[in-house]
Amino acid sequence: MSAALDTYCVMGDPIAHSRSPWIHARFAELTGERLSYEARRVPLADFADALRRFALEGGRGCNITVPLKREAARLSHTRSERVAQAGAANTLVLQGGRIHADNTDGLGLVADIEQGAGVPLAGRDVLLIGAGGAAAGVLGPLLARAPRRIAVCNRTAARAEELVARHLGSAKLSKTELLALDQQALDADFDLIINATSSSLSGGPVPVPARVLRPGALAYDMMYGPPAQGFLDWAGAHGAVSRDGLGMLVEQAAQSFLLWRGVRPPSTQVLSELRALLAA
Ligand code: ATR
């Protein structure tokens, strides 16, 4: 008789669209790891119960997505430095009745920019648009790569200022100039522009002027599929190289898989397969 499979899941609401079960099933196949991974729709009000139930069933780990990331950080017994800084978690490790929270979103973004797009962050000028959960999850790992400058620009200026204030210690360590820039007074240009807003979901336009794009700049949207298209078209029309967040999705999953299994999956191969699948 074979031993029961180690079980993992992704929790969020909505969850039907999630590609995580497919990605982790492919990682498991390609690395020979024996595990199961499913999607569970969990509204915020049910999250604590759902987590308890999953732990009692013997669950080994979860990915956490919208709208549960902040609560995941709060409910956990221990947190990585990345979670403490982001105030949000996307990866939980369940062991011996205890929950450890980590956040692999920023590592996924950095890996996709540096390896996927081939743009090393060290010494670059970066514009991070947005100051919500998505931006907060990636600022620490971006700073750790020692860019020359990161400007954070947000519709609500006070949120950008608060996010910057929370990261000044990390900026000092990496010798990065970190500042909040007013959306109206944005007249500098950048090597890398990262869209971490949800503006496109409400049909909003790209929230910055095209002059922020230095010639040949990389314009990165953390979303993928139809919500990213407007930003990618805008970047292309103004001479920038554009990239959606599908690689970030696969890379953050790879980092979670590594945390859970101690094995690094072949993320480049899985990203090409997923692109082909979505294009079909
Ligand atoms: P998420 O977890 O996706 O980051 P969030 O915490 O609600 O979600 O943050 C959404 C981000 O998108 C915020 O930076 C928000 O700006 P505000 O802080 O001013 O709300 C930004 N955003 C959403 N809709 C926008 C729009 N139409 N124009 C510009 N920015 C927008």
- pLDDT confidence of residue 184: 81
Task: Establish how many alpha carbons lie within 13 A of residue 200's alpha carbon, considering only the half-sphere containing its beta carbon.
Answer: 20
What confidence category does residue 2 fall into, taking pLDDT thresholds of 50, 70 and 90?
low
Burial tier of 138 (Cβ tally within 10 Å: 0-12, 13-18, 19+): buried
Least Cα distance to 221 among 252, 190, 196, 184 occurs for 196
Atom of ligand 1 nearest to the CA of 159: 18
Distances from the Cα of 255 to the Cαs of 35, 104, 110, 115, 238, in angstroms?
Answer: 16, 6, 11, 14, 33
* 70 Rama sector, left if φ>0, alpha if ψ -120 to 50, beta otherwise: alpha
Question: Which H/E stretch holds residue 162?
Answer: helix 157-166
Reported as a single tens digit per residue, the pLDDT across 123-154 is: 999 999 999 999 999 999 999 999 999 999 99
* Same-fold call for 6-103+248-279 versus 120-244: yes
The domain limits of the chain are 6-103+248-279, 120-244
Reported as a single tens digit per residue, the pLDDT across 261-272 is: 999 999 999 999
Q: Which CATH architecture has domain 6-103+248-279?
A: 3-Layer(aba) Sandwich (3.40)
Report how far ligand 1's centroid is from the alpha carbon of 97 (Å).
35
Atom of ligand 1 nearest to the CA of 69: 2
User: What's the CA gap between 78 and 175, in Å, rounded?
Assistant: 29
- pLDDT confidence of residue 136: 95
Report how far ligand 1's centroid is from the alpha carbon of 130 (Å).
6
Q: Across the chain, what does the average pLDDT equal?
A: 96
The size of the chain, in residues, is 280
Show the CA angle centred on residue 193, arms to residues 118 and 202, nearest 5°: 125
- pLDDT confidence of residue 113: 98
Catalytic hit among 24, 69, 79, 145: 69
Residue 10 dihedral angles phi and psi, to the nearest 5°: -115, 135
- pLDDT confidence of residue 222: 97
**Arithmetic mean of pLDDT, 84-110:** 96
Residue nearest to atom 13 of ligand 1 (CA): 132
User: What's the CA gap between 5 and 250, in Å, rounded?
Assistant: 23
Residue 192's contacts (CB-CB under 8 Å, 6 or more residues apart) are 113, 119, 121, 124, 125, 126, 127, 147, 217, 218, 219, 220
Query: What lines the ligand 1 site, CB under 6 Å?
Result: 130-134, 154-156, 159, 197-199, 202, 204, 207
Ligand 1 pocket mutation pick from 182, 199, 200, 224 by most atoms within 8 angstroms of CB: 199
Reported as a single tens digit per residue, the pLDDT across 233-279 is: 999 999 999 999 999 999 999 999 999 999 999 999 999 999 999 99
Catalytic residue at 69?
Answer: yes
Report how far ligand 1's centroid is from the alpha carbon of 163 (Å).
13
Name the residue with tokens 């230095």: 214
Reported as a single tens digit per residue, the pLDDT across 166-187 is: 999 999 999 999 999 998 888 8
pLDDT beyond 70 at 1: no
Q: Which DSSP category does 235 fall into?
A: H
- pLDDT confidence of residue 164: 97
User: What's the CA gap between 154 and 160, in Å, rounded?
Assistant: 6
- pLDDT confidence of residue 217: 98
Atom of ligand 1 nearest to the CA of 156: 19
Of all residues in the chain, what percent carry a pLDDT higher than 70?
99
Residue nearest to atom 26 of ligand 1 (CA): 199
Q: In CATH, what class is 120-244? A: alpha beta
